[in-house]
Amino acid sequence: MEKITIEQVEHVANLARLRFNEEEKQRLAIQLEAILEYIEKLNELDTDDVPPTSHVIPVKNVVREDVVKPSLSREEALANAPSPVDGLFEVPKIIE
């Protein structure tokens, strides 16, 4: 298995908009490498006789019915907004 490079850590951190110092990058490279080694061990498991499943335990729908109920008016919802624009909440841009 290939070693995780500092450049790969920096690339993933950049995608996640995270910043790390050099010591943290070194530590993360080691941790990511250990995680990938563990995943590689999982790939060694023989799953030929294991039926595919989406859940290991039975799952039932536990959500409530979608029922319309009274709620705040637009004016009430925007009453404490710092700077509503055209009846909407204005939020800072976070995606470039």
Instruction: Identify the structural domains of the chain with CATH numbers, from first to last.
Output: 6-43 (1.10.20)
DSSP state of 82: S
pLDDT per residue over 10-64, tens digit each?
Answer: 999 999 999 999 999 999 999 999 999 999 998 899 988 888 887 778 888 878 8
Say what the pTM is.
Answer: 0.54
Q: Which residues are CB-contacts of 63 (< 8 A; sequence separation ≥ 6)?
A: none
pLDDT per residue over 66-89, tens digit each?
Answer: 899 999 999 999 999 998 999 999
DSSP state of 4: P
